[in-house]
Amino acid sequence: MSSPQRDHIFFRSMAIIIAVVVFAGFARTYGSALLDGTSTVPWIIHVHAVVFSAWLLLFVVQTTLIGRDRVALHKTVGTAAMFLAALMVIVGVGTAITMARLGHRGIPGVEFPDPEGFLLLNIMAIAVFSVLIAAAWVYRRKPQIHKRLMLMATASSLVGPGVSRLPIVSGNTPAIAILVLSFLLAGPIYDLVTRRRIHPAYIVGVMLGFLSAPPVVMAIGATGAWHGIAAWMMR
């Protein structure tokens, strides 16, 4: 099997696995409550679910198009995807603020002392996603960089919320951390095995991903400076 074929299989597989994991996690909480009619979440949560689900599906479609050598269509869809990414940022920030105002401190296994800390976790995840997606757009004509940045943007921002809601894993902080880390390091490990070196795009992605890690966020979230910013955002 040639290196390009192997790469296509890896990136398409990662896109599918991420989508399945995130959908499975939220199906257990949001999905089940929606189906049995017990959901009482604010309207923006439903918008958030639709928009972020669309991104996961689009990510699978895009990796599939490249795998089938539909490069022109991939580029056309990619342009539209940037508008969806911008919408994700807007909806993501709005959802984070809404949940913080309602007093949410996180979910079992990833809980903060106060809503301000949970707000920062979400804001940091959105910021990391924005930076990586913007970089991926800038490097859209350099496939080796572009596809790695897209993978890291999606894995670093969407996997955590999905994994932390999975059966058995939910409420188990070490298990959540290990699973999230495995997704962040899957690309670098693949590079190391197949190329004997890690692409710089992954190094940047992992470093940014760690900025939104709960221990880092918790330390920043405890500062007076952040509480002042959070108070302004939540008013």
Q: Where are the domains of the chain?
A: 3-234
Residue 138: pLDDT over 90: yes
Measured at the CA of 162, the angle between CA 154 and CA 185, to 5 degrees, comes to 50
Cα(63)–Cα(74) distance, integer angstroms: 8
What's the mean pLDDT in 88-114?
A: 95
Confidence at residue 41, expressed as pLDDT on a 0 to 100 scale: 84
Whether 32 has a pLDDT exceeding 90, the answer reads no
pLDDT at 212: 87
Q: What is the mean pLDDT of residues 139-146?
A: 96
Q: What is the pLDDT of residues 53-65, one digit of tens each?
A: 999 999 999 999 9
> CB neighbours of 124 closer than 8 A, spacing ≥ 6?
211, 212, 217
Contacts with 30 (C-beta within 8 Å, 6 or more apart), sequence order: 39, 41, 45, 49
Of 23, 131, 137, which Cα lies nearest the Cα of 80? 137
The answer on pLDDT for 2 being more than 80 is no
